[in-house]
Amino acid sequence: MPRILIVEDDSIVRQAVRLGLRHQGHEVVAVETGEEGLEQLRAVRPDVVVLDLMLPGMSGLDVCRRMRERDQVPIIMVTARGDDIDVVLGLETGADDYVVKPVQARVLDARIRAVLRRQDASLPDGARPRPETHGDLVVDRAGLEVTHRGEPVTLAPSELRLLLTLSASPGQVFSRQQLLEAVWEHGYHGDIRLVDACVKRLRNKLGEGRNPRYVQTVRGFGYRFGTGRA
């Protein structure tokens, strides 16, 4: 049973979301403030964090950043729609996905399950292939480990899944819509900023500069995985 940590300041919403998610079969811990959320992260060891961005005291964005510093736990932000800048900042800070308030428990549950599947080791091809080497990058699909120049790279679930998806077919161009469906399990018309923000984070972690070697932009079409040579 997945364990969810909810950070939400409004008590009635907090109770309702807890009720809704329990009803969907999750184990739920709900806290009121970002500080509490950070405290509980160790103790609860949640599978997913559902984080409201509008928090009194420490802001949702700060909480998100602090959580990412110590953990790669999947984070789903809850935003008021229209806080466009918050969405972008939240995604760049490391959130894996976001939902817009008000959200049905069913929808939130679907997102939670999708983000959990991102960590799932069993890939569609099923086989357990040997680690692949792309230039300085080694991708171990079986162990879900990535090393760059011998150093392990810690990737959040979306980043990892994005890298695995792209590197599965080097050279093939993926449209943002394809990636939204493959990585985030969103519909065709999901928010492409999810893809762009995730690409940005992934490139940062792989130490890519102006001319990315691994995650390359194909103008007008989308992204493709380079062979590791710039």
Partner 1 sequence: MNGDPTAEPRNTPEPRTTQEPRTTPDPAPLSAPRRLFRAVVSRVPLPLRGLRSRLLISFVLVAMASSLGTGALAFREARTGVLQQSQDSVINRFRTSVEAVAPAVPHTPAASDLQWAVNQVILANRMSGWRVMATYGDRRAFAPTPRFTQPSPEMLRSVRTRRAAVFQRVNVDGSPRLLVGMPVTYTTDEYQVQRLSGVVMFLEVPQTAEQGYVEAMVSGIERATLVALCLAVVLALLAASGVLRPVRALRGATRKMAAGRLDVRLKVTGSDELADLSRSFNETAAELERTVAELRRLEARGRRFVADVSHELRTPLAAMTAVTDVLDQRVEGETGEALRLVSEGTQRLSVLVEDLMEISRFDAGAARLNRDDIDLAESVRRTVASRWRPEEVELRLPAPGELRGRVDPRRLDVVTANLVGNALRHGEPPVRVTLEARDGFAVLEVTDNGPGIAEEVLPHIFERFYKASTSRTRSGNGGGDGDSSGLGLAITAENVRLHGGRIHAANRPGGGAVLTVELPLDMDDEGGAE
Residue ranges binding partner 1 (CB under 8 A): 10, 12-13, 15-17, 19-20, 23-24, 80-82, 84, 100-106, 108, 175-177, 187-193, 195-196, 217, 219-221
Please provide the size of the chain in residues.
230
Looking at the Cβ atoms of 1 and 127, the one nearer to partner 1 is 1
Q: How far is the CB of 128 from partner 1 (least distance, A)?
A: 34
Q: How far is the CB of 190 from partner 1 (least distance, A)?
A: 8
**DSSP state at residue 31:** E
Looking at the Cβ atoms of 21 and 206, the one nearer to partner 1 is 21
Q: How far is the CB of 222 from partner 1 (least distance, A)?
A: 8
Q: How far is the CB of 82 from partner 1 (least distance, A)?
A: 5
- Which own/partner pairs from 22-31 qualify as long-range (CB within 8 Å, at least 24 positions apart)? 23/105, 24/105, 24/106, 24/109, 25/1, 26/1, 26/2, 26/109, 26/112, 27/1, 27/2, 27/3, 28/3, 28/4, 29/3, 29/4, 29/5, 30/5, 30/6, 31/5, 31/6, 31/7
Looking at the Cβ atoms of 64 and 199, the one nearer to partner 1 is 199
Looking at the Cβ atoms of 118 and 203, the one nearer to partner 1 is 203
Looking at the Cβ atoms of 130 and 219, the one nearer to partner 1 is 219
Cα-to-chain-centroid distance, residue 223: 18
**DSSP state at residue 130:** P
Q: How far is the CB of 200 from partner 1 (least distance, A)?
A: 10
Where helices occur in the chain by DSSP H, the ranges are 11-23, 34-44, 60-70, 84-93, 105-119, 157-168, 176-179, 192-205
**In this structure, what is the dihedral angle of CA atoms 3, 7, 9, 11, given to the nearest 10 degrees?**
0
Tell me the C-alpha to C-alpha distance, in Å, between residue 98 and each of 21, 76, 120, 185. 16, 5, 20, 13
Looking at the Cβ atoms of 146 and 214, the one nearer to partner 1 is 214
Q: How far is the CB of 109 from partner 1 (least distance, A)?
A: 8
